[in-house]
Amino acid sequence: MKTINSISNMTKTTVRWRQKGLSVALVPTMGYFHEGHLALMRMARSRADRVVVSLFVNPSQFGPEEDLDRYPRDLERDTELAKGQGVDCLFSPSAGEMYLPGFQTWIDVEGLSQGLCGASRPGHFRGVATVVAKLFNIVRPDIAVFGQKDFQQLQIIHRMVKDLNMPIDIMAHPIVREPDGLAMSSRNYYLSIEERKSALSLSQALRLGEKMVADGIRSGQDIIQAVRDHILSHTGTKIDYIFLGDPEELEECQEVHGKALLALAVWVGRTRLIDNTLLEG
Ligand code: AMP
């Protein structure tokens, strides 16, 4: 596996592959790999001749009060883990090269970026869409793999690719969880033992929502209330949002009929966690 830091070397490498008729898959990440990231890499490995994993903690998607500086990093460990999945290239550019002085071009997927995480993290999805578009231009993949854990991000990328005619197939990987149900996340690293217990309330609340729908309950208000009560019965939790609505347009719904997205963002102490599930009413 090669590690490439320079943008021009990355593009040269993939252009060469493509000239040889090889297909290329990209897995964009911010590093500090866990089994969720590795599952995305395996999906990419099974769909393309060459796999590039980008590792870039993108400053433009963090707000001024957010955890950019303390975001966990371990390039040596990540390198070994990516190697173990048969990744061909780890692309780890510097922030200075990604955002040259005078940088001023942004991609804003307007409507889909407004609600859910967009409401409490203004500018976050503008940073995400812009860096993903840059990575697409640098790596020029045929396929890019994203996790459903960041459901809103996935929908925004789908829309960007469609709206801007980017010739890339977006593949979604289901959420990878710990054995007890907690969705894997690099930010789980921040949790104390006590917080780790409270963090379990997110996936439990989603299972509760699924059960209510399976039992025939359709009222959005009742489902959201039950989800809220369950989470708040755990110490140190504070709800950022509970969303129930259409998974495509991310518009809220009052009743569950057909497919609906139940998505959460919850503070557990100083750590903000997200999780979601698709309901079938
Ligand atoms: P991150 O490094 O957190 O920006 O995540 C990189 C990619 O991995 C994104 O497409 C995420 O949605 C995906 N991802 C992160 N955690 C999980 C998980 N638990 N299950 C599936 N995909 C995940």
- Is 257 assigned a catalytic role? no
Residue ranges per structural domain of the chain: 2-173, 186-280
pLDDT grade for 19, boundaries at 50, 70 and 90 = very high
Q: Is the pLDDT of residue 39 over 90?
A: yes
- Coil, strand or helix at 143: strand
* Superfamily covering domain 186-280: Pantoate-beta-alanine ligase, C-terminal domain (3.30.1300.10)
Ligand 1 within 6 A of CB of 14: no
Query: Is the CB of residue 56 below 6 angstroms from any atom belonging to ligand 1?
Result: no
Instruction: Return the pLDDT at 62.
Output: 96
Pick the CATH number of 2-173 from 3.40.630.30, 3.40.50.620, 3.40.50.300, 3.40.640.10: 3.40.50.620
pLDDT, position 31 = 97
The alpha carbon of 275 is separated from its chain's Cα centroid by a whole number of angstroms, namely 10
- pLDDT over 90, % of the chain: 100
Q: Residue 33 CA: which ligand 1 atom is closest?
A: 2
Work out the pLDDT band at 190, boundaries 50, 70, 90.
very high
Taking all residues of the chain, what is their mean pLDDT, rounded to a whole number?
A: 97
Determine which one of 37, 124, 173, 234 is catalytic. Answer: 37
The response to whether residue 61 sits with its C-beta less than 6 Å from ligand 1 reads no
At residue 7 the predicted structure's pLDDT band, cuts being 50, 70 and 90, is very high
Using most ligand atoms within 8 A of CB, pick from 26, 27, 29, 52 the residue to mutate for ligand 1. Answer: 29
Cα–Cα distance, 108 to 130 (Å, whole number):
8
pLDDT tens digits, 103-132: 999 999 999 999 999 999 999 999 999 999
- The Cα 47–Cα 158 span in angstroms is 18
pLDDT exceeds 90 at position 150: yes
Please report the pLDDT score of residue 115 as a whole number: 96
Query: Is 237:267 a contact under the CB 8 Å cutoff?
Result: yes
Does residue 140 line the site of ligand 1, with CB under 6 A?
no
pLDDT the model gives residue 281: 86
Residue 30 beta carbon below 6 angstroms from any ligand 1 atom: yes
